Chain A
């Protein structure tokens, strides 16, 4: 496994402790632990606490994972149950 660029920056929008949001948090942590040689920057935004930010970033469905860096921006919606799709979206399937 070759080291990934250290610049991986993720942002996870969650809605409080709703089941899908909590599941997404756990799965993202597990995924990164398994696939990332360098721990990525993970920013968690609770839209219930920061609704203006959700509006600004046009987050409609929760949970939503956004790859901020590296460009281009990618959006992944859902509780991250489909690991393969997540890996593809983050270019971590190689």
Chain B
């Protein structure tokens, strides 16, 4: 647990080491106080208590005592053997089981109390310096003491003793009959303890569903809603507060989709650390797109994790090889881990936790879930969405690029909408569909959305061949996209048209040339004419000017001749 225990005055937390529970309780159970674990038979109370003890003994240097009221200690030890906790080794010094089952021949002759038990425990606590203790379960006091008022008195005694001892204690009790109802013998128990945790186990259409809920925690914050829980290979795991934030910084880097044409459509590929969703009916090549992505990832030297709910890895590898997607080498060299999981055998929660473990061990750059809709199978519809959402959030918080495929029930290209609505959290959504026209089924690819990417909105035809996956331009005719043979036919038509267009263009060019020449000739002649006219105009102007000169000179001479001082002038007649 990366999170450090939260410290507030007087409240120190004792980590349980249980995945998720320490996150929900913000660090663990209250140290030196008592926690109640309530749950029905088989809900995991005993395992939870023991796991917290084992964690204290192995990692916190806090030896523990397990007071076994219900089950014999040797049975508890053998039941827990599969979790790999190595109890026999711990039992030498750090872990003590106190068998406290009532003997079958016990005869009651009046009131008794648990003084003897507490004295015995106290002695043991001192010799082994125990810091943690589990009482499993308190219901047994009812069998022993019979009288509800006595039970109340002895539980009070136990509580006082625990407070004084300073031990971090877990008491378990069956629920809800004794705890929830006001007449229940242990109904006061939740009020005594500092922290109360409820466990619930239900079976929905044959699939086991477990929940854990912190009901109270004095002086501490906690996640209040019920968290799914499993009893897995290493004990209890709780789907705690998975981070719902993305990574600290959104990457602008692109990772290739493995298909050149698709990279072009997405301006380079998927965003690194984003999530992509590929939806489509069965057989629309969703797995092929996923395989291409994985191959491209591994070819770069990055690691990839491929979770398949549909088929066996060998089958997928063989099928993808037929479209030139080669995964064998990456599998052999360990970059690619393919894991086949049965959607039917476990709840969505156990799937999530199993995938989380694989993320921890394999540390991939890319995660493929094929298909994510498997998480909503088998009565998991209600929790399925939460699981898919948390899985994507978890992967993104680690900077992993996620690609999920999802099956769509109806094959209509307009019936877009993933069964578990992952689309709302997918950054890129690619939809694959079949177009059946003129007796042919053709695959079409549409990018429905792609956050933060300039992407092509156009529908493309996807072709699968020995050379790989190609995306072809399609023709839109009267609002309909043409593919396959129709596309080929249209292509031929387009080609013939182009030839005709070329010939026409040539003819027009010749004609235009001729018209041009004619016009140019006319322009030339007009220009000549203009020049001629201009010259004529200039000549005329010059002649006029000369004539004017002559006239002026003439007039001046005549005026001078008429002046009076001219003696020779004669009187007018």
**Chain A residues with a Cβ under 8 A of chain B:** 13, 15-16, 18, 20-21, 23-24, 47-48, 51-52, 54-55, 58-65, 74-83, 85-86, 88-89
Contacts and interface: CB of A to CB of B under 8 A. Distances in A.
Given A61-B144, A74-B105, A85-B108, A55 B113 contact: no
A94 B114 CA distance: 32
10 contacts: A16-B115, A23-B110, A47-B116, A51-B119, A60-B100, A61-B117, A75-B105, A79-B109, A79-B111, A82-B110
Interface string B74-118: 000000000000000000000000111011011111111111110
A60 B120 CA distance: 8
B110 A59 contact: no
Interface of B: 98-100, 102-103, 105-117, 119-120, 122-124, 144-145
A61 B113 contact: yes
B384 to A, nearest CB: 47
A54 B109 contact: no
A75 B103 CA distance: 8
Nearest to B146: A78
B117 A60 contact: yes
* Secondary structure type dominating chain B contacts: mixed
B114 A60 contact: yes
Contact of B112 (A78, A88, A89): A78
Contact of B102 (A48, A60, A79, A86): A60
Given A47-B115, A60-B100, A80 B110 contact: yes
Nearest to A80: B109
B116 A13 contact: yes
A82 B119 CA distance: 26
A15 B105 CA distance: 22
A10 B490 CA distance: 107
A20 B112 CA distance: 6
A12 B415 CA distance: 80
Contacts of B111: 20, 78-79, 81
A74 to B, nearest CB: 7
B123 A75 contact: no
Contact of B116 (A59, A75, A80): A59
B112 A51 contact: no
Nearest to B108: A78
A29 to B, nearest CB: 15
Contacts of B120: 47, 51-52, 54-55, 59-60
Given A74-B107, A75-B105, A18 B112 contact: no
Contacts of A89: 107, 109
B112 A48 contact: no
Contacts of A85: 107-109
Contacts of A18: 113, 115
Contacts of B123: 51-52, 55
A55 B106 contact: no
A34 B123 CA distance: 37
Given A18-B113, A75-B107, 8 more contacts: A21-B115, A51-B123, A52-B120, A55-B123, A59-B117, A61-B144, A78-B109, A86-B109
A83 B110 CA distance: 9
Q: In the complex, which of the residues B99, B100, B102, B108 has the most CB atoms of chain A within 10 Å of its own CB atom?
A: B108
A56 to B, nearest CB: 9
A84 to B, nearest CB: 9
Contact of A55 (B98, B105, B108, B110): B98
A60 B102 CA distance: 8
Contacts of A80: 109-110
B324 to A, nearest CB: 72
A63 B111 CA distance: 9
B355 to A, nearest CB: 45
A65 to B, nearest CB: 8
Contacts of B103: 58, 75
Contacts of B98: 55
A82 B109 contact: yes
B110 A78 contact: yes
